[in-house]
Amino acid sequence: MDHSPQPLPKAKDTASSILEAAHQLFIEHGYHGTSMRLIAQEAGIALGGIYNHFPSKEALFEQIFLETHPYHEVLPTLSEAQGDTPEALVRNAAQRMMKALQARPNFLKLMFVELVEFKGSHLLDLQSAIFPQSAELIERFMENSSSIRPIPAIILLRSFLGLFISYYLGELMLDPSGESKFDQQTFDQFIDIYLHGILSGAQE
Amino acid sequence: MDHSPQPLPKAKDTASSILEAAHQLFIEHGYHGTSMRLIAQEAGIALGGIYNHFPSKEALFEQIFLETHPYHEVLPTLSEAQGDTPEALVRNAAQRMMKALQARPNFLKLMFVELVEFKGSHLLDLQSAIFPQSAELIERFMENSSSIRPIPAIILLRSFLGLFISYYLGELMLDPSGESKFDQQTFDQFIDIYLHGILSGAQE
DNA sequence: CCTACCGATCGGTAGG
DNA sequence: CCTACCGATCGGTAGG
């Protein structure tokens, strides 16, 4: 048998196991509803072991929240969106976006925990990272788009992002287990309303 | 001095004080982040006193969640919405809706707590109360509305409700303190996109 | 409605 | 990385 120069590659190291366990538990039970003992148990180590890797429970949450925020994939993916018309561009962007978001199911629940249990105190770190890129994104979108109705860029962006939040929150309220499959047709209808809403009627 | 046949009308009785204190604290810190001792303190009684009025902490949350759900005002208020054209009707409905929602600021945070910390287990009680009325509402809206594009009623409703959630969540993320004033202009632009999105272009 | 208490559990740490 | 522990706090209750 051949053996690697390193110890047999364990699927994950301890720190990753802790992060993964905590991530899932924070989504399921919130921050104060999740104990460090349960995180340790799910990660397969003793309570004290967590503190060899993370200084506190809040540090654990903060790292998970910041690392799994979808903007890491969403912004690059939107930058690569393509389309000859604004409509094609929006549809392509929406499709890429949905794909990126599905890689982080239930992230919105982490955002809820952040907003309620931390009053959004970790959000400031994100805004400086997100704002410039998204401003650039919108600018690029609008300069190619004479057929877009005169709507402020920030409103275009918020409405666009709102589509995903509305869709996801609607699904969550109809089936709180959160395990409902993605309904492409319903989501397409959300996009249709948005597209029809921002395009001038000329081309239709 | 005249004295009523009942004890001088205290502003609120004990049960109301407890509900009000718990309501505010659940919004601020979530469910597991709020202790019964703190609720008692804010309500001005001792811990044990709560249990003369409510059997458990969860019963407290459930009652607050169900009683302050905005559907109590939103459905009747939407039923009374008026307008000669679909556009006027939607604008009138949106305005009434916003007014009703502002009477329950931060209810969305209670919904987040419900979704995360209770996995939506109290939502089922609501759906049976909400669904028939809103179905009727949509039906009435659509039969008068030949100028509405062919969009399923459920999508019309979800998109409409999504406007408020998107607007509110956007404000919450830009200013997590949650005390930002209502920005009528921004919200009107959300409505404009929606309206333009659901109306056939004929009349514009 | 309060006082005093219950067992259980919390986040975190010392020491090895 | 575990064992054993810290003081603090939790939801809830008995008794008056």
Instruction: Please state whether strand D lies within 7 Å of residue A176 at its CB atom.
Output: no
Interface check for A61 against chain B (CB to CB < 8 A): the answer is: no
Between B54 and B100, whose confidence is greater? B54
* Residues A117, B29: C-beta atoms closer than 8 Å: yes
- B199 forms bridges with which residues in the sheet? B148
> CB of A120 within 8 Å of any CB in chain B?
yes
Q: Tell me the nearest-neighbour CA distance from A65 into chain B, angstroms.
A: 14
Average pLDDT, stretch B159-186? 88
A-chain residues near B121 (CB < 8 A) = 176
* pLDDT 10s digits, A140-170: 777 777 788 999 988 999 999 999 999 999 9
pLDDT digits (tens, 9 = 90+) for B5-38: 444 445 579 999 999 999 999 999 999 999 999 9
For residues A112-120, give the mean pLDDT: 96
Q: How far is A174 from chain B (nearest CA, A)?
A: 9
CA-nearest residue to A192 within chain B is B197
Question: Which pLDDT value is given to residue A28?
Answer: 95
Evaluated on CA atoms B24, A105, A127, A142, the torsion sign reads negative
Three-state DSSP string of chain B: CCCCCCCCCCCCCHHHHHHHHHHHHHHHHCCCCCCHHHHHHHHCCCHHHHCCCCCCHHHHHHHHHHHHCCHHHHHHHHHCCCCCCHHHHHHHHHHHHHHHHHCCCCHHHHHHHHHHHCCCCCCHHHHHHHHHHHHHHHHHHHHCCCCECCCCHHHHHHHHHHHHHHHHHHHHHHCCCCCCCCCHHHHHHHHHHHHHHHECHHHC
State the pLDDT at residue B202: 53
What is the reported pTM?
0.90
**CB contact, 8 Å: B152 with chain A?**
yes
- Chain A within 8 Å of B27 (Cβ-Cβ)? yes
Nucleic strand C interface residues, CB < 7 Å:
A 32, 34-38, 47-48, 51, 55-58; B 14, 44-49, 52-53
The answer to whether A173 and B123 have CB atoms below 8 angstroms apart is yes
